[in-house]
């Protein structure tokens, strides 16, 4: 009957709206995941560059210590 058809149409529209909301929520979730991934990558790059800086500083310090030791040895002689 027309009444039943109308009822199914209303149910169908409600289902369609629900699926659309779920799709939007899913897309928003994916978008947030990509943003988070970008932040993590950025953080990893910062950590890597910081480690490189620390490594250079340590090499510089160790060469200074070697120089000081050599200077100390030559002073003794």
Q: Using one digit for the tens of pLDDT, what is the confidence trace for 15-73?
A: 999 999 999 999 999 999 999 999 999 999 999 999 999 999 999 999 998 888 888 88
The Cα–Cα gap between 46 and 43 comes to: 5
Question: Helix/strand/coil (H, E, C) string of 5-72?
Answer: HHHHHHHHHHHHHHHHHHHHHHHHHHHHHHHHHHHHHHHHHHHHHHHHHHHHHHHHHHHHHHHHHHHH
pLDDT score of 37: 96
Rounded to two decimals, the pTM is: 0.54
């Amino acid at each position: 009957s027309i009444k039943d058809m109308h009822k199914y149409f209303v149910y169908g529209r409600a289902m369609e709206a629900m699926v659309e909301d779920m799709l939007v929520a899913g897309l928003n979730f994916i978008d947030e995941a990509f943003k988070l991934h970008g932040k993590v990558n950025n953080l990893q790059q910062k950590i890597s560059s910081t480690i490189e800086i620390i490594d250079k500083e340590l090499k510089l310090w160790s060469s200074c210590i070697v120089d000081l030791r050599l200077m100390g040895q030559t002073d003794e002689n």
